[in-house]
Chains A and B, each alone.
Chain A
Amino acid sequence: MSKNKSEYLINRHDSQYEVVIGLEVHAQVTSESKLFSTSATKFGAEPNTQVSLVDAAFPGMLPVINEYCVKQAIKTGIGLKAKINKRSVFDRKNYFYADLPQGYQISQFKDPIVGEGKVILDMPDGQKEVGIERLHLEQDAGKSIHDLDPKNTFVDLNRSGVALMEIVSKPDLRSPDEVNAYIKKLRSIMRYLGTCDGNMQEGSLRADVNVSVRKKGSKEFGTRCEIKNVNSIKFMQMAIEYEANRQVDLIEDGQTIDQETRLFDTKKNETRSMRSKEDAHDYRYFPDPDLLPLEVSDDFIENLKSEIPELPDEKKKRFIEKFKLSPYEANILVSDIETSNYFENVIKKSDVKLATNWIIGELFAALNEKNLEITESPISAGNLSKLINLIKDGTISGKIAKTVFEQMMEGDKDPQKIVEEKGLKQESDPKALEALIDKVIDDNRDKATEYKSGKVKLFGFFVGQVMKVSGGKANPQLVNEILKKKL
C-alpha cells in the first residue's frame, strides 16, 4: 500500500488500484416526535413505551406528516448547499420483518425532498468537494433483539417510525481518510443546524458503504459492493480497507466481483456476503396512497433559510479573516459548534491569539486526558477569558498560568482568586526586582565576571536564578531588562 501524500492506492504486482467509495448515511432527525406520529423519540426509554397505534400499524391507522421533520430535512439540504425540491413524494418500500409493523417502510424513492448538493472536505493537501446525490426522509424500523432468549426474538418498537434522513453521496470518496473527513464534516454541519445530534453510539448516525476498485487512471467504475449498516467511523475505515483489498485480490486472481450486499464483522475485521444481487429484495416501491405529495412553497423555504446559522465553512472563513487564525487553527475551532461557541465566548473579552493557543493547546489536552467534551469543560469560557487577561496584563507569567489552569480544571474557579489566595501574582516592582537581582549577582560573583569577560551564554543562568529565587513570580521581561543593565 502506498501513501504518497493523501493518495490512497492499493499496489499489487505492477498494478495500482484506486478505491471508489460512496456513502448512504442514515441520520436521525432531531425531533421530539416521530415522522408520522406523535410518539416521543427519546433514546434509552423502556422498550415499547414510545409506540402509538400508528407506529404499531393497527388497522385503520393513518400516517400524518410531522412538519418539524420536514423543516429539519430542508434545513439540512440548505446546509448541504443542495437543491430543495418543492414537491416530493413518499413511497412505500414493502418487505416483511418482525420489527416493521406496517409491512412497509415509508420512504422517498423517486422524488426526494432534497436533490444535489455538496460538502467541502479539508484534507491535508487541500480542499476536496464531495457531491451529494440526494437527501430523503424515511421511517426507521423497530429493533429486533435476538440474544435475550434462546427461542424467541423480542421486538422493541420505540424506534419504529422515528424520522431518518438518508443522505446519499456521489461516488466521490477515494480513501478511508476522506470517509473520516466526510462523516465528520456532515456531522458537524448537522450539529450546527441542530438537525441531527450525530451520536453514533446511540445509532443516530450510521452508514451503508459502497466500495469498488479500479486500476489507477481508469474512468470506468468497477462493480461495487454495499456494506450495510456500519455504525462508527473506525469500522467504516476498517471495512473499506478490507473490502478494497478483497476486491483487488479477486481481480488480480482473474475473478469477477459480484455486486452484492455485505456485512462487516467487527470482531473478525472482515466483510461477509449477506445477499447477492439475484437475492435482492423486490421492495415494490409505489407512492403511499395515505399521503399526498409533499409540497412546500418558496416562502416556506426562504423562512427556513433565514433560520440557518453560520455554518462551519463560513465560520472558518470569518475566523481566518477577522481573527487572523491559520487555516489549521480555524479548522479545529469550527469543527463542532460547541467548540466554536466556546472560543467565541472566550475572545469576547480577551486576546484572540492567546485564547486560540490556550484552547487548542492546554484546554484540549486537559479535556482529552479527562475524556470530557468541550460542553463538559470544568473551566467556563468566562474564567478562561479571565486567565488569559491575567497573562496579557502581566499579572501572572505563562508558566504560573499553567499552574492556575491546572487548579481551574479541578473545579471552575475564578483565576483571579486562585492567584490571590496562593500569592502567585507576578513581581513587577522594579525596586523589588533590583534588590533580588543584586543579591543573585552578589551570590555569583565569579559567574558575573565570566559574563562580563564575554561568556554571554551565562545570561540565561542569571535569569534562571532570579526566577528560582522569586519562586517563579518575577516578571521575566523586567528581569531581562534589569539584568542587562546590572551585569
Chain B
Amino acid sequence: MSDITKQSLSELVENIKSKKLSSSEVTKAFVERSEKSKELNAYITEDYTNALNKAKKFDEKPNLDLKLPGIPMAVKDLFCTRDLRTTAGSKILNNFVPTYESTVTQNIWNEGAILMGKLNCDEFAMGSSNETSFFGNVQNPIDKNLVPGGSSGGSSSALAAQLTPITIGTDTGGSIRQPASFTGTVGLKPTYGSCSRYGIVAFASSLDQAGPMAQNVKDCALLQEVISTYDEKDSTSIDFKRNEYSKELTKDIKGKKIGIPKEYRVDGMPKEIEDLWKKGIEYAKDCGAEIIDISLPHTNYALPTYYIVAPAEASSNLARYDGVKYGFRAEGENLIDMYEKTRSEGFGAEVQRRIMIGTYVLSSGYYDAYYLKAQKVRKLIKNDFDDAYKKVDAILTPSTPSSAFKIGEKTNDPVSMYLNDIFTVPVNLAGLPGISIPAGHDAKGYPLGLQIIGKAFDEQNILNIAYAMEEKINFKNNINDWWIK
C-alpha cells in the first residue's frame, strides 16, 4: 500500500485492525520518511531500530483490541522515556537517560503504540519558535526558513511533515496550540489536571499540561482518550469522569452557544487574522451554533501575569539542574563555582532570562508587588471565564495573532516573541481546555488557526465543535516536501 504516511491515525488503525497493513509496514514507512527528513531537524533522538523491532514483535502476536495497535509515533522530548535519552532540548540534560516512564507516554504504549524517537522542542519548553533548543532550530515543512512554532515545534513539524501519524506536546502558555496553528494541524491543550504531569520535565507546574497533536480532530480525540487518566502520582491530577472522546464525537452542535470575546481584537492585529475570525464565526453559524458577544475584561493582563507566574515557578523547578546528581556538570573550584559554571554553560539564554525574571519576582520585597499580585489577577482572569460560561458553552478566538514567522525574525526581541502567546495564555492561566484547528491561509499561503476554548473538563464539547467546523472549513495543507531531495 502506497502513501502510508499520508494516512490519518484513524485510517492506519483501521488498516492494521483489518490486517491490510502490518505494524512493521507502517513503522518502516514513517521511519523511512523520517530518515529522509533530517533537514527539518524535528528529532533530537531517533530510536528507529528499536521501533522496527517492536513493530516486528507486535506483528508476531498482534493485539488488535488496543486503541493504537502497532502505531509508531515520536513524542516531544519533554516526556521522560525509560532507557531513551530525554533532554528537554537542553544541554544540561544532554546525557540524561531516565529509568522511568512518564504516565502519559506509558498510557500510549499500553494501547499498543511504538516509540520512534524524541522530538525537538524549545529548551525546557520555553519559547514560541523552537529556536531556543540546544539541538538547533526546527524547520516548518510549510516553507523553508519558517519556524514551526514552539515550544512543541519538533512535534508540529514532524506531524505536518508526516514523520509521525500523531504526536504529543506540552502546553504551558500555548506550546501545543500555537505550533499546531503554524503548521496547519490540530492541537488540544486539555483541562489542567486532565493529563498526569508525572514524568514530564517541569517548566511551570501550575500551567503545564500535556496534550495530543494530530492531523484531524478525530485523531486528536482518540489520542486524548488514551492519554487522559487520573494519576495518584500527580497531586494536581483530577479524578473526573473522562469521556471516550473519539466514540462520543459528534458534528451535531446545533444550538451550542459560542462566545466571541471583544477583548481579543488586539491592537495591530493583522487584517488576515480578523478576517479569519469572521470566517470562523460564519462556519460556526453554518453548523447551527449561536454566536454571542462576550467580554473577558482582564484579557489585557494575561500576558504580563503569565510572564510573572511561569518564570517564578520555572526558576524554582529548574533549581534541581545543578550538576550534582545527573546531567551536565562543569568543573569548578568549589561547590558554588561548579553551580555557576554548570548552570551558565548548561542553560541557554532564554532559560537564563526566565530564571532571572522568576528569581526577581519571588525575591523578598518584590513578592507582593509581582507574584502575589499576578496570582490575584490570575484569579480575576479565571472569574472572567466563569462569568462568560454562564452565557456560553464555548469561546471562539484566533489561535495566534499572526501566521508562522521567519527563523531569526524575533530572536532578538523577546517581548514580540512573547506576544505570540497572547490568545493562548489566558486559557492556561484559567486551567481550561483549548483546541486549535487549521482554518485558512494567509496571503503567503501559511496556515492560520482558530482556537475553541471550553469549560473545565468539557473537552468533548470543544472537540465536537472543532469536528463540526473542521468539515465546513475543509482545510488542506500545502506541503510540497521541499526538504526531501
Task: Using CB atoms and an 8 Å cutoff, list the residues of chain A in contact with chain B.
Answer: 53, 56-65, 92, 94, 96, 98, 101-104, 153, 155, 282, 284-286, 289-292
Question: B362 an interface residue at 8 Å Cβ cutoff?
Answer: yes
- The answer to whether A286 touches B320 (Cβ under 8 A) is no
Q: Is the CB of B80 within 8 A of A60?
A: yes
A197 to B371, CA, bound (A): 39
What is the predominant secondary structure among interface residues of chain A facing chain B? loop
Residue B236 is within 8 A (CB to CB) of chain A in the complex = yes
Taking CB atoms, residues of chain B closer than 8 Å to A62 are 197-198, 233-235
- Does B102 lie within 8 Å of A60, measured CB to CB? yes
CB-based contact A94/B201 at 8 Å = no
Whether the Cβ atoms of A65 and B235 lie closer than 8 Å is yes
Assess the A59–B80 pair: CB atoms within 8 A. Answer: yes
Partner of B86, one of A59, A64, A94, A291: A59
Which B residues are in CB contact (< 8 Å) with A285? 362, 367
B319 within 8 A of A: yes
Chain B contact patch, size range? 35 or more
Instruction: Answer yes or no: B424 CB below 8 A from chain A CBs.
Output: no
Q: Which B-chain residue is minimally distant from A92 (CB atoms)? A: B316
- Could you pull out 19 A-B pairs where Cβ atoms are within 8 angstroms? A57-B320, A59-B80, A59-B88, A62-B198, A62-B233, A92-B316, A94-B315, A94-B362, A102-B319, A103-B318, A104-B316, A155-B324, A282-B363, A284-B359, A284-B362, A285-B362, A289-B204, A290-B235, A292-B235
Alpha-carbon gap, A292 to B193, bound state (A)? 11
* Chain B, 335-387, CB within 8 A of any chain A CB: 335, 339, 359, 362-364, 367, 371
Which residues in B have their C-beta under 8 angstroms from that of A57?
320, 325
Total CB contacts across the A-B interface at under 8 A: 93
User: If A58-B98, A62-B235, A292-B235 touch, does A286 touch B202 (CB 8 Å cutoff)?
Assistant: no
A101-B324 contact, Cβ under 8 Å, with A62-B233, A290-B235: yes
Closest to B206 in A: A289
Contacts of B32 in A (CB 8 A): none
A56 to B99, CA, bound (A): 13
- For B87-107 the 0/1 string (1 means CB < 8 A from A) is 010000100101110100000
B477 CB within 8 Å of chain A: no
Known: A282-B364, A284-B364. 11 other contacts (CB 8 A): A56-B325, A58-B98, A60-B102, A60-B202, A61-B199, A62-B198, A94-B319, A153-B335, A284-B362, A286-B371, A291-B235
In contact, B102 and A284 (Cβ under 8 angstroms)? no
In chain B, positions 225-247 with a C-beta closer than 8 Å to chain A are 232-236
Residues of B within 8 A of A60 (CB): 80, 98, 102, 197-202
Report A-chain residues with C-beta under 8 Å of the C-beta of B201: 59-60
Q: Which residues of B contact A58 (CB under 8 A)?
A: 98, 100, 325-326
Q: State the main secondary structure of chain B at its contact with A.
A: loop
B463 on the A face (CB < 8 A): no
Report Cα–Cα, A155/B324, bound state, in Å: 10
Query: What is the chain A residue whose CB lies nearest that of B323?
Result: A98
Query: B205 contacts the other chain (Cβ, under 8 Å)?
Result: yes
Q: Does B111 contact A (CB under 8 A)?
A: no
CA distance A65 to B359 in the complex (A): 26
Instruction: Flag whether B71 is at the interface (Cβ < 8 A).
Output: no
User: Chain A residue with minimal CB distance to B102?
Assistant: A60
Contacts of B296-350 to chain A: CB distance below 8 A: 312-313, 315-316, 318-320, 322, 324-326, 335, 339
